[in-house]
Structure 1
Amino acid sequence: QVLIGGCGESHTGSGGGYVKARKEVDYDAHYHDFGEKSPFQHTYAHLHFTPDERFQDKFGFPELWNVTDAVRLLLRPPPDRRNSTMASALFVHNDCNRGRRGNLISNLVNNEKEHHFSIGRYGKCFHNAERPKSIAEHDGIPCKDMTKDMLFHNDCEATRDGTKTMLSSLHKFTFALENTFSEDYFTEKRWQVLFAGSVPIVFDNHNSRMFLPDDDAAVLVGTAEEPAQLARRLRDLDTDYEEYSKLYLWKERGLRPEFVRKLFLSTDYLMCRICEHVAHHHGPGKDHAKNWTWHP
């Protein structure tokens, strides 16, 4: 195993360093000690691995620490919203072009009273709600200057997209629907919702579950599901807090290894990925034909 500029790989190559790092970590109340034989023993320790000590300030890679922050946020217990006066779900979009997303929301909005499921709509599309004063006052405040009362998840990492994430933390559900329905296409929408402690509503585009911390961490909208069917599902979850709470049981189980590995896809710099791609596909012994020049 080769270390290229600290791209999130262990310099030991065998994983032995991971176990040692794991034993030295002081996990907080929301982490779980999985035991030596657990598949998490390497992946969770890896979250605390940083090349800063080896490369010092010149080659520090803070993204590795961001993954640690992400796990802490994801595993936090959700807020108790049983007495909330906010709308059950959040929808924030300014692109009002009709499409699968627009048509779905339009149907839910037009039949909101019939469905008995409320949606707070803060963007330009189907606008019906204003930001709470407590959130509006914090617009434009740098992440480092946020105070603890500004967000349920008050960590700086969670407030990077401040207003949207804070709004999401006030609602049981948040629509995190992509504007493009295709396999392997996912943006930051679902991550913001998960960080905020809300339940994302996402399209089930065949492999959507692979990009969630758990199969039950989101409400998936099926390709053939009618808006009325979705509304009934959401209403049932909204009115039965015991069933709704089951959507957060994954926080107690911890993150599955394949999801943790996906988190680490974000630890590599773009230039690092380019170097890895070139080395793998066009390195010594490879066919360098067509517009590729190898400079060892």
Structure 2
Amino acid sequence: MSAVGAPTTGDFAGAPRGRPLAKCSQIPTDGTVRLAPRARSLYKHLAPRNRWAEVAASTPADCPQRPGRDFSKHPLTIHIPTQSTKSPDGRFDCAAGKIDRCPFDCVVTNTRAATADVVLSVTPGASVRAQGHCPLQKTAHFSMETEVYYPSLAITPESMRSWDFIGTTKLASDVPLGYGGWFDFNLFEPPVPKTADAMAVAVISNCAGHNRRLEYIRELVRAGVTVHHLGACDHNKDWSPPSGMSRGRFVDKIDMLRPYKFTLAFENTNDPDYVTEKYFQPLVAGSVPVYMGAQNSELYAPAPHSVIRTDDFADARALAKYLLFLASNEEAYNALLEWKYTGVSHGFAHAMAATTDMHSHCRLCRLARETLEVEVGDRDALSPETVLAPQTKDEAPGAVPYPGMGG
């Protein structure tokens, strides 16, 4: 068995452009993500300076941001001004305070706006400044929406004047927020038999996407690809949990996809780094993703040829021809799932590590703590791992298992 999955019939005329079909042994086993410094012109806070002499006299006694702080006794505090105390993935509860699996002394709360080290907004398009009376208090904004719908999320000099730290789906964010890191799942679950009476499945409920995704799917159907629409848009198939009981929205979605050869994983916009659960759920389910969305989505692929990208085809008819070929060629189709048995590429492991190995709130805790330590004179500069962000993918040999994804 080869190290990565790839179609094995080099004569097929409908092969993706730029990705010639070849024997599995001829395909390089992908690459790694180079770590590069973020642009200083945008990330002014990544070069903090000692400010204690300026603010010492104006820092009230109840403010914890001061030299010599013992974080084991006075942990860094992130305040979230919201009614909800639980994070979307359940890894922290403001009532309990602690962030699960975070090696730093850090708590999350919704009751300490005045003295918190960081005030974190999680509302798309919101803009808040420090709410307390501590001069070194920081502000942060997290959103997993796309800047196409929320232009204020764009990482620009203007946005950096509104926030001390920004977390978005962009890998260049201070705290990258990858959708792959918000849920625990087993990426290496073996595929199940493809028993659905349609080749592909789509679950779309926003019928007004910026990228005309529904029109593209209709072109695929006209070209012979059978599609079950389980969402609100073009709905033609109902679905209920096999056991009769829901296992949760995320798990139910994976169960929906399992019996289909292909999942039409079409984002609502084509924005770099905006790679949502639509991409990862079919990978878990063992249904080959046919992806429309982020132009750099290959960075998130577990192995070469594990994801089929619409960008690699001239039009929907060319893609349909390729899907019909795969649907009738068991060997070529199974090659696309071979990575589940051989391990993921180094590039995928590094990209996922950027957003999954440490929870986003824990990453914010590290960044804020080091910044504050510099500003009060307890540290000379930020550590290298704090100021480096994944930027590009390099080719490198070897595939690796990735237990960080629940395997």
TM-score normalised by L of structure 1: 0.60
Cα distance change, pair 128–99 in 1 and its aligned pair in 2 (3 A): same
Among 182, 190, 208, the alignment partner of 1:97 is 208
Cα distance change, pair 197–60 in 1 and its aligned pair in 2 (3 A): same
Q: How far does residue 187 in structure 1 lie from its aligned partner after superposition?
A: 0.9
Deviations 1:100-125 (A, max 9, x none): 2222123224x1xxx22210011111
User: Given that residues 63 and 267 in structure 1 are in contact (C-alpha distance below 8 angstroms), is that contact kept between their aligned partners in structure 2?
Assistant: no
User: Given that residues 266 and 293 in structure 2 are in contact (C-alpha distance below 8 angstroms), is that contact kept between their aligned partners in structure 1?
Assistant: no
Aligned to 1:173: 262
Q: What SS does the aligned partner of 2:325 have?
A: helix
Cα distance change, pair 263–63 in 1 and its aligned pair in 2 (3 A): farther
Aligned to 2:319: 230
**Which amino acid letter does the alignment assign opposite residue 245 of structure 2?**
H
Matched residues in 1 for 2:99 and 2:261: separation? 38
Cα distance change, pair 214–122 in 1 and its aligned pair in 2 (3 A): same
Aligned to 1:78: 191
Cα distance change, pair 97–60 in 1 and its aligned pair in 2 (3 A): closer
Cα distance change, pair 247–177 in 1 and its aligned pair in 2 (3 A): same
Matched residues in 2 for 1:259 and 1:133: separation? 31
Percent identity over paired residues: 26
Aligned to 2:242: 134
Verify: 1:106 aligned to 2:218, yes or no.
yes
* 1:1-296 correspondence runs (5 A): 61=100, 70=185, 73-81=186-194, 84-100=195-211, 101-109=213-221, 111=222, 115-131=223-239, 134=242, 137-139=244-246, 143=247, 161-203=250-292, 205-222=294-311, 225-264=314-353, 265-279=355-369, 283-284=373-374, 285=380
User: Given that residues 87 and 120 in structure 1 are in contact (C-alpha distance below 8 angstroms), is that contact kept between their aligned partners in structure 2?
Assistant: yes
Deviations 1:33-70 (A, max 9, x none): xxxxxx9xxxxxxxxxxxxxxxxx99683599x99964
User: Given that residues 205 and 223 in structure 1 are in contact (C-alpha distance below 8 angstroms), is that contact kept between their aligned partners in structure 2?
Assistant: no
Which structure carries more relative contact order (alpha carbon 8 Å, separation 6+)?
A: 2
**Which amino acid letter does the alignment assign opposite residue 106 of structure 1?**
R
Q: Which runs of 5+ in 2 are unaligned?
A: 1-30, 32-95, 104-180, 375-379, 383-407
Matched residues in 2 for 1:96 and 1:238: separation? 27
- Number of residues paired by the alignment? 205
- Structure of greater Rg: 2
Query: If each structure's helix is expressed as a fraction of its own residues, which one has the higher value?
Result: 1
Q: How far does residue 185 in structure 1 lie from its aligned partner after superposition?
A: 1.3
User: Given that residues 201 and 262 in structure 2 are in contact (C-alpha distance below 8 angstroms), is that contact kept between their aligned partners in structure 1?
Assistant: yes
Matched residues in 2 for 1:212 and 1:63: separation? 27
User: Given that residues 86 and 170 in structure 1 are in contact (C-alpha distance below 8 angstroms), is that contact kept between their aligned partners in structure 2?
Assistant: no
User: Given that residues 216 and 250 in structure 1 are in contact (C-alpha distance below 8 angstroms), is that contact kept between their aligned partners in structure 2?
Assistant: no
**Which amino acid letter does the alignment assign opposite residue 220 of structure 1?**
R
Query: If each structure's strand is expressed as a fraction of its own residues, which one has the higher value?
Result: 2
Cα distance change, pair 185–204 in 1 and its aligned pair in 2 (3 A): closer
Q: How far does residue 75 in structure 1 lie from its aligned partner after superposition?
A: 2.3
Larger deviation: 228-237 or 200-209? Answer: 200-209
Cα distance change, pair 95–251 in 1 and its aligned pair in 2 (3 A): same
**Which amino acid letter does the alignment assign opposite residue 61 of structure 1?**
D
Matched residues in 2 for 1:161 and 1:133: separation? 12
Cα distance change, pair 107–275 in 1 and its aligned pair in 2 (3 A): same
Q: What SS does the aligned partner of 1:80 have?
A: coil
Q: What SS does the aligned partner of 2:290 have?
A: strand
Deviations 1:2-38 (A, max 9, x none): xxxxxxxxxxxxxxxxxxxxxxxxxxxxxxxxxxxxx
Q: What SS does the aligned partner of 1:161 have?
A: helix
Deviations 1:78-120 (A, max 9, x none): 2232xx24211000111111532222123224x1xxx222100
Matched residues in 1 for 2:191 and 2:293: separation? 24
Aligned to 2:93: none
Cα distance change, pair 68–192 in 1 and its aligned pair in 2 (3 A): closer
User: Given that residues 102 and 362 in structure 2 are in contact (C-alpha distance below 8 angstroms), is that contact kept between their aligned partners in structure 1?
Assistant: no
RMSD: 3.4
Q: Which runs of 5+ in 1 are unaligned?
A: 1-38, 40-56, 144-158, 288-296
Q: How far does residue 258 in structure 1 lie from its aligned partner after superposition?
A: 2.8
Cα distance change, pair 160–121 in 1 and its aligned pair in 2 (3 A): closer
Q: What SS does the aligned partner of 1:127 have?
A: coil
Q: How far does residue 224 in structure 1 lie from its aligned partner after superposition?
A: 6.1
TM-score normalised by L of structure 2: 0.44
Cα distance change, pair 274–60 in 1 and its aligned pair in 2 (3 A): closer
User: Given that residues 267 and 293 in structure 2 are in contact (C-alpha distance below 8 angstroms), is that contact kept between their aligned partners in structure 1?
Assistant: no
